[in-house]
Chains A and B, each alone.
Chain A
C-alpha cells in the first residue's frame, strides 16, 4: 500500500515538475547582428499575436550623453526624407526611389560600442559576407575627415546589398552613421552620404 502511495506521489510530483523554459540554455550560433532592428520591426507583430506597447520618448532622445549636452547638427541632402526613428536610433532617413530605397540610420551608444573588427564583421554578415581577420578589417577602413571630427569609413559590398558605415568616438560616446540598401542605389547615394557625414557638427 505504502509503495503504491509512494509511486502515486512520485507521479504527481513528476507531473507538477513539468515546466517549460525555466532553465538557462547555452548554445552556439553564427554571429548575430548587434544593433537595432530594421525600422518598423517593432510594429511588425503577427496579426493574431500580441504587439508590444512601446515606451515612448526613446526614439528621439537616445543620443545625448547628459541632459545639458546638445545633439549634433548636420545638413541633410535635399533628396533624403527624414523618417521617424525606431527605439534605438537617433535619426533615420530614406534615400533613393521608393522601390530601391537606401536606409540611413544614426545610432549612438556610450562607451566604445564594440571593436571595429566586431562591428565591421557584423555588418558584413548582415549582407551575407564572411567575417574578416582584424588585420584585413583594418585595411578596409578609411579615414574621413570633417571640420569637426575624423570618422572611420567602410564600404561593404555584398552580392545584392551594400553598406556604407562611418563612425567616430568622442566624449565617451560612439556615433554610427550607416546607409544600407540595394548595391546600385547605395552607389548613387555614396557621394551624398559622405557629404552628409562631413556636415556633422558635434
Chain B
C-alpha cells in the first residue's frame, strides 16, 4: 500500500495530470472573469483549494474541480517526492538537482505568497501622516471604544463574519452585535428620493433616513462593492439600543453610548496598523513636454519609527520602492489633481523566493549545459588527437 502511494506521488503521470488540470483551471478561471470580475475569479479558482458549484449561496455545494492551491500543493509534493526518490549525489546530476531545487522554491514561494502576502494602499495628501494602510478589497466593521484619554480601542470585525442574523459576541465589547441584514453590495438613497414604498432598515443614526437597495456584486475591474449592514446593538445586560445602518458609503462613523462609554461604529476598508508613520512631504508628477503622458511619479516621504529611532526622508518612485520592516512601499498612483499620492504597501514574507529560485535555476542550467559542453569539447579534442 505504502509502495503504491509512494509510486503515485512520485510519478510523472501525476505531474502531467496536475499540469493538465492547471491548464483547464487557467482557461475556465480566465473565462469566468467575464462574469465574476478578476478579483472574484482569482479567489474562487486560483486562491482556493477546490472550485465549488454552485458558487453562490450558503446551501449545499459540491466541489467540482481542484482549485489553484490544491493543484500547486500536489505539484509541489510530487516534485519534492520525485526529487528525493531519484536523488543521486554525482557531479553529473548537480545541475539537475539545482534546477529542481529552484522550481521547488518557486512553487512553494508562490503558494506562500498566495496564503500570506497582504496588499494594501496608503493614500496621503501633502502633509498627511498615517500609521496604517488600507485594503480596498476587504471591509471591516470597526467598533471603537473612544473613552480612553489618549488611545482608542478598536475591535475590527472582518466582513466575512457579517452574515444575516449572526450574533457577534466578543470579550472586548459589553454588547452583542446582531447582524439583521447584510448586503455585499448596495445602493444607498435618502428615503425621500427612494420612492414611497422605501423603508429604512435601521432606526438609529443617519440610517433611519436612508433606504438600502441590494445590488449584484460588481465585476468591473475599476469598481468595488459597497457593502452595507443593519446591525442591532444589544447590551449583554439590558435591552436593545436600536439598529444602525453601517456602510462605507456613509463616510463617517456613528456614535452611541453603552456601559458608560462612548462607542463609534463604522464599516470601512480593512486597516493594517504599523509601529511607524509615514508623512508625505512632496509629490511630483512630471509629464513629457507638451503632452499628458506621465514621465515620472515620485513621493518624498518622512519615515518615523520611534521604536528604532528612525527619522529619515525617503524618495519613492518607479522601480525604487521603500522596503521597511518587511513591507514594501511602491509608487502606485496619484489623485487626479495631483493633490495626493497613493502608495501600494505589500507585506510578502516570501518575496525573495522568485529571485532565489531564478538564481538557483540559472546556476543549475549553467552547470548542466556547461558540463555537457565541456564533455563534448573534450571528446572532440580526444577524437581529433
Contacts and interface: CB of A to CB of B under 8 A. Distances in A.
A47 B250 contact: no
B145 to A, nearest CB: 9
- Residue from B1, B138, B223 having most chain A Cβ neighbours under 10 A: B223
B209 A66 contact: yes
B155 interface: yes
Contacts of A64: 190, 192, 209
20 contacts: A22-B161, A26-B156, A26-B172, A28-B153, A28-B154, A34-B252, A40-B335, A41-B123, A43-B335, A46-B342, A48-B333, A50-B222, A52-B226, A55-B249, A58-B189, A61-B190, A62-B190, A109-B205, A114-B146, A118-B146
B188 A55 contact: yes
B334 A47 contact: yes
Interface of A: 1, 4, 15-16, 18, 20-32, 34-38, 40-58, 61-62, 64-67, 86-88, 107, 109-115, 118, 131, 160
B305 interface: no
A162 to B, nearest CB: 14
Contact of A21 (B132, B221, B248, B270): B270
A29 B273 contact: yes
Nearest to B253: A34
Nearest to B172: A26
Contact of A118 (B218, B262, B333): B262
Given A1-B2, A28-B153, A111-B255, 9 more contacts: A20-B115, A22-B161, A28-B154, A30-B150, A32-B154, A45-B136, A53-B224, A88-B250, A115-B262
A62 B193 CA distance: 11
A47 B333 contact: yes
Contacts of A87: 249-251
A49 to B, nearest CB: 5
A58 B192 CA distance: 11
Nearest to B147: A118
Contacts of A112: 255
A131 B206 contact: no
- Residue from A20, A24, A109, A110 having most chain B Cβ neighbours under 10 A: A24
A55 B189 contact: yes
A159 B51 CA distance: 56
Nearest to A117: B262
Contact of B188 (A57, A65, A107, A111): A57
Interface string B57-98: 000000000000100010000000000000000000000000
B205 A22 contact: no
A18 B115 contact: yes
B21 interface: no
B146 to A, nearest CB: 6
Contact of A55 (B115, B186, B222, B264): B186
A183 to B, nearest CB: 13
Contacts of A115: 262
A42 B251 contact: yes
Contact of A26 (B154, B210, B256): B154
B42 to A, nearest CB: 13
- Residue from B209, B224, B226 having most chain A Cβ neighbours under 10 A: B209
Given A46-B333, A57-B190, A87-B249, A52 B154 contact: no
A50 B144 contact: no
